[in-house]
Amino acid sequence: MAVSEERVARLEAELERLKPTWHERLERLETAVARPPAKGLARFLAWMGPELPKFLAAAVLLLIAYWVNDSVDLAIKQQQLQLSYAKEMKGELEAMAKEKADVTDVERAAVLVSAFGQPAVLPLLNELRYGGNRALGAEAGLRSLAFMHPGAVCDTVERAMSSPARVLAWEAQMISARIVAAANCRESLRFLREQARALAAVRAGKSQDIPGVAGKMPGVPQQKEWERTLEEAVAALQAAQVRKP
């Protein structure tokens, strides 16, 4: 009996020693069950560990490389398209530049050039510089462009008219006034008024120069025509401002 009692005593002592460990294990199990499962992002971050910064850096570099490559491809395609337009416009521009070309033929060629859209603005604006039928043809082309791309026409023609480099002579300036009025370039109104005042000062003998105008001043008949054109352009733009909702 003594041996049995001694074994029971040892078992009870062992159970008492293990009891705290059981309690700790049960508490950990209960805590794990009660804790909400980790979200996908948290699991991913925990799984990546110290490799996460390297992964993010590689992803950013990949995105930058993709964006740069896409931008370069787009720029190359735009240049190729512009070059293609230039080649296709060449024939019509040569038709406009033919010596003694009829104004009707020149205007027809200019309208065909305008069919190329915004890339045609600069070539047609350049034709204004030559005066005569070429300038009249350019006016027809730019008026056509103004129906579809008024912003491009207004911005380019306005800058040419007011350029400190004086790229347009008086005839091109006069035609440009008609173009900005036809295109409803409301931002041009102030400049046209200033040009009209400067021209009035020239006609009154108070000045010999108009800002932005290249070359010599025209004779009195041409000055009167130019003055009338400016008045009509200003009136048209003022009326457009009144109609503006």
In a domain, residue 24? The reply is no
Domain count within the chain = 1
> Is 164 within a domain?
yes
pLDDT given for residue 116 in this prediction: 83
What integer pLDDT is reported at residue 52 of this predicted model? 61
Q: Which helix (H) or strand (E) holds 168?
A: strand 168-169
Sign of the dihedral through C-alpha 113, 117, 122, 124: positive
Instruction: Supply the pLDDT for residue 80.
Output: 53
Give the per-residue pLDDT at 101: 86
pLDDT at 61: 66
For the chain of 245 residues, list the mean pLDDT of each consecutive stretch of 10. Answer: 61 58 57 54 63 65 63 55 63 85 90 86 91 92 91 93 93 95 92 95 90 90 95 92 65
The alpha carbon of 113 is separated from its chain's Cα centroid by a whole number of angstroms, namely: 23
Structure confidence at residue 33 (pLDDT):
47
Are residues 170 and 217 in contact, defined by beta-carbon separation less than 8 angstroms? yes
What DSSP designation does 98 have? Answer: S
Is 20 a member of any domain?
no
Distance in angstroms (rounded) separating the CA atoms of residues 80 and 86: 10
Any domain includes 154: yes
Asked if residue 79 belongs to a domain, the reply is yes
Sign of CA dihedral 184, 189, 191, 194: positive
Which domain covers residue 121, as residue numbers? 62-243
In a domain, 5, yes or no: no
The CA distances from residue 195 to 144, 154, 181, 201, 211, in Å, are 25, 17, 14, 10, 8
Q: For the chain, where are the alpha helices, taking DSSP H only?
A: 2-34, 40-48, 52-97, 103-114, 121-128, 132-148, 150-162, 170-182, 189-203, 220-243
**For residue 96, what pLDDT is reported?**
87
pLDDT of the residue at 126: 92
Do the domain assignments include residue 171?
yes
The b/e string for 30-42 (b: 16+ C-beta within 10 A; e otherwise) is eeeeeeeeeeeee
Tokens of 136: 């009249």
Write down the pTM of the prediction.
0.65
Does residue 86 form part of some domain? yes
Dist. CA 214–CA 117, nearest whole Å: 28
Q: What is the pLDDT at residue 37?
A: 47
